[in-house]
């Protein structure tokens, strides 16, 4: 074990890290965790952990890493976004790669389809020939009988949908390409799909060799509601939660919308409103026992009451999650949260401090340390435009904080 005093000197930036190893590179997802962060947190705080939980698992980075760790017997991921759950499940389900290769060959010669999906603005987001090819692929994938194999190809299909759509590259929100780029945009759907599947098969080969017998589950559900976990059964939480509502921070729902519509999921448009902080609270009274939150809300409210209510609504929702997590946490277990701070109306919100205070208000949580991480490539902030102006790139965050608590 690395000595406690030395921990604070460890560099958490992972500037040159290979982030696409194993199944980690299967699918893009907003605000993905760097696998090396989950790996190191498991190494430092999970020496005795038999169980790991990621209540906001997104594309599943923590549960993939848990399944590469021999002592962890069971890893649970939860997310409210069905696309995230599908990706996380596929990334942690070992499959026979030779069989995947054989099925790919058949999919690549598929012809005909049983209809294109009927969602609003499909012709705005996809050229007609692209829609035809995607429908052909989807029809062929849906004929695969083995559900795990089918889901593997659906993840590659979803990434294909994203890459061949008329959306701008590198944006998480839905913006259409400029007319000039659109004229030249003639993606080769089957080629794109093949490229993604071959890359994912390669990842699966690496994963199959490295994976342990850890049982992993990725479940669709809100961490604000009753989590189907045994009380006091979790030894380690490793997660990167949202740090504000989707509308003004990271648009998980918008990012996933086209893929989810192609995959026939319902209630897709309302997803961002159902995530934490999706509904503004009506009042401004802070009932949560966090002195930092109280003073921050007061400061924001002096400038803009509506924004203060929005921020409070996020923390009211998060407080329900803390109740659930506290119920599930075992004594001597560690809680590791990777969070970013944000600025609202010029007021800096120290997310790490507020969230740690919220845990401490529920039970005896000891603050072990907070690791500071510089975000080297500014990937997340540059894609996150709080002004909501198309293409505007604003740095809202250049540090991340990894706070670690122990339940006594
Ligand atoms: C920062 S992302 C997690 C990214 C993940 N660590 C990865 O590597 O892909 C936060 C996730 O929280 C999810 N989320 C937001 N509100 C939620 C809720 N109430 N319950 C469960 N998940 C929620 C979002 O859908 C999003 O996938």
Q: Verify that 102 and 185 share a domain, yes or no.
A: yes
State which residues of the chain have pLDDT below 70: 1-9, 376-397
Q: Is 131 in the pocket of ligand 1 (CB under 6 A)?
A: no
Q: Verify that 237 and 386 share a domain, yes or no.
A: yes
pLDDT reported for residue 382: 39
Of 178, 210, 242, the position where a domain reaches its end is: 210
Q: Is 28 in the pocket of ligand 1 (CB under 6 A)?
A: no
pLDDT reported for residue 384: 44
pLDDT reported for residue 321: 98
Tokens of 106: 């058949």
Sheet holding 329-340, edge to edge: 215-220, 74-79, 51-54, 234-239, 329-340, 399-407, 365-374
Q: Is 276 in the pocket of ligand 1 (CB under 6 A)?
A: yes
Cα distance between residue 161 and residue 293, in whole Å: 41
The answer to whether position 259 is within a domain reads: no
Total domains in the chain come to 2
Q: Is 80 in the pocket of ligand 1 (CB under 6 A)?
A: yes
The answer to whether position 133 is within a domain reads: yes
pLDDT reported for residue 15: 85
- Dihedral pair phi/psi, residue 150, rounded to 5°: -60, -45
Cα distance between residue 136 and residue 114, in whole Å: 8
402 C-alpha vs ligand 1 centroid, how far in Å?
A: 16
The answer to whether position 348 is within a domain reads: yes
348 C-alpha vs ligand 1 centroid, how far in Å?
A: 22
Range of the domain at 217: 4-92+212-251+270-407
The answer to whether position 256 is within a domain reads: no
Q: Verify that 174 and 246 share a domain, yes or no.
A: no
Q: Verify that 117 and 132 share a domain, yes or no.
A: yes
Q: Is 254 in the pocket of ligand 1 (CB under 6 A)?
A: no
Q: Verify that 63 and 125 share a domain, yes or no.
A: no
pLDDT reported for residue 6: 53
Backbone φ/ψ region at 118: left (φ over 0), alpha (ψ -120 to 50), beta: beta
350 C-alpha vs ligand 1 centroid, how far in Å?
A: 19
Q: Verify that 235 and 350 share a domain, yes or no.
A: yes
Q: Is 290 in the pocket of ligand 1 (CB under 6 A)?
A: no
CA distances (Å), origin 93, targets 86, 98, 289, 357, 398: 11, 15, 41, 36, 34
Q: Which residue do the tokens 């989807």 mark?
A: 138
The answer to whether position 28 is within a domain reads: yes
Q: Verify that 351 and 297 share a domain, yes or no.
A: yes
219 C-alpha vs ligand 1 centroid, how far in Å?
A: 12
Neighbour count for residue 369 (Cβ, 10 Å): 14
Q: Verify that 276 and 392 share a domain, yes or no.
A: yes
Q: Is 31 in the pocket of ligand 1 (CB under 6 A)?
A: yes
pLDDT reported for residue 376: 63
pLDDT reported for residue 341: 87
84 C-alpha vs ligand 1 centroid, how far in Å?
A: 8
pLDDT reported for residue 122: 97
The answer to whether position 257 is within a domain reads: no
CA distances (Å), origin 57, targets 62, 63, 134, 217, 239: 7, 8, 28, 11, 7
161 C-alpha vs ligand 1 centroid, how far in Å?
A: 21
Q: Is 32 in the pocket of ligand 1 (CB under 6 A)?
A: yes
Q: Verify that 234 and 186 share a domain, yes or no.
A: no
* CATH for 77: 3.40.50.150
44 C-alpha vs ligand 1 centroid, how far in Å?
A: 23
Q: Is 223 in the pocket of ligand 1 (CB under 6 A)?
A: yes
The answer to whether position 347 is within a domain reads: yes
Instruction: Ligand 1 pocket test: pick from 53, 62, 84, 92 the residue with the most ligand atoms within 8 Å of its Cβ.
Output: 84
389 C-alpha vs ligand 1 centroid, how far in Å?
A: 24
Of 189, 210, 231, the position where a domain reaches its end is: 210
Q: Verify that 100 and 65 share a domain, yes or no.
A: no
Q: Verify that 150 and 165 share a domain, yes or no.
A: yes
Cα distance between residue 188 and residue 198, in whole Å: 16
Non-local (6+) Cβ contacts of 50 within 8 A are 71, 72, 73, 74, 235
Q: Verify that 35 and 126 share a domain, yes or no.
A: no
The answer to whether position 265 is within a domain reads: no
Considering only CA atoms, which residue is closest to atom 20 of ligand 1? 222
């Amino acid at each position: 074990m690395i000595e406690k005093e030395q921990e604070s000197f460890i560099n958490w930036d992972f500037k040159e890290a290979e982030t696409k190893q194993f199944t980690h590179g299967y699918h893009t997802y907003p605000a993905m965790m760097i696998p090396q962060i989950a790996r190191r947190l498991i190494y430092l705080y999970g020496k005795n952990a038999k169980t790991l939980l990621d209540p906001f698992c997104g594309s599943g980075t923590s549960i993939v890493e848990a399944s590469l760790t021999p002592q962890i017997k069971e890893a649970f991921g939860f997310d409210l976004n069905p696309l995230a759950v599908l990706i996380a499940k596929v990334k942690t389900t070992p499959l026979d790669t030779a069989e995947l290769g054989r099925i790919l060959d058949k999919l690549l010669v598929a012809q005909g389809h049983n209809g294109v999906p009927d969602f609003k603005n499909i012709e705005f987001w996809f050229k007609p020939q692209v829609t035809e090819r995607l429908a052909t692929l989807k029809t062929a994938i849906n004929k695969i009988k083995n559900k795990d194999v089918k889901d593997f190809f659906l993840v590659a299909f979803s990434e294909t949908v994203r890459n061949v759509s008329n959306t701008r590259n590198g944006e998480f929100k839905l913006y259409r390409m400029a007319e000039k780029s659109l004229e030249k945009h003639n993606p080769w759907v089957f080629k794109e799909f093949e490229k993604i599947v071959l890359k994912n098969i390669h990842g699966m080969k690496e994963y199959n060799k490295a994976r342990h017998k850890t049982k992993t589950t990725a479940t669709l559900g809100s961490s604000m509601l009753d989590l189907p976990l045994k009380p006091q059964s979790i030894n380690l939480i490793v997660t990167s939660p949202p740090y504000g509502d989707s509308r003004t921070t990271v648009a998980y729902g918008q990012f996933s919308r086209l893929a989810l519509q192609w995959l026939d999921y319902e209630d897709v448009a309302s997803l961002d409103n159902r995530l934490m902080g999706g509904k503004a609270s009506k009042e401004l009274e802070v009932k949560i026992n966090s002195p930092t939150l109280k003073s921050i809300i007061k400061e924001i409210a002096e400038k803009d009451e509506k924004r203060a209510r929005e921020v409070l609504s996020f923390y009211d929702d998060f407080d329900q999650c803390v109740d659930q997590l506290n119920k599930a946490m075992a004594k001597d277990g560690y809680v590791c949260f990777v969070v970013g701070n944000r600025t609202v109306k010029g007021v800096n919100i120290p997310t790490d401090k507020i969230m740690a205070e919220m845990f401490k208000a529920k039970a005896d949580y000891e603050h072990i340390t907070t690791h500071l991480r510089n975000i080297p490539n500014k990937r997340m902030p540059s894609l996150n435009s709080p002004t909501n102006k198309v293409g505007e790139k604003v740095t809202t965050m250049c540090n991340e904080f990894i706070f670690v608590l122990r339940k006594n």
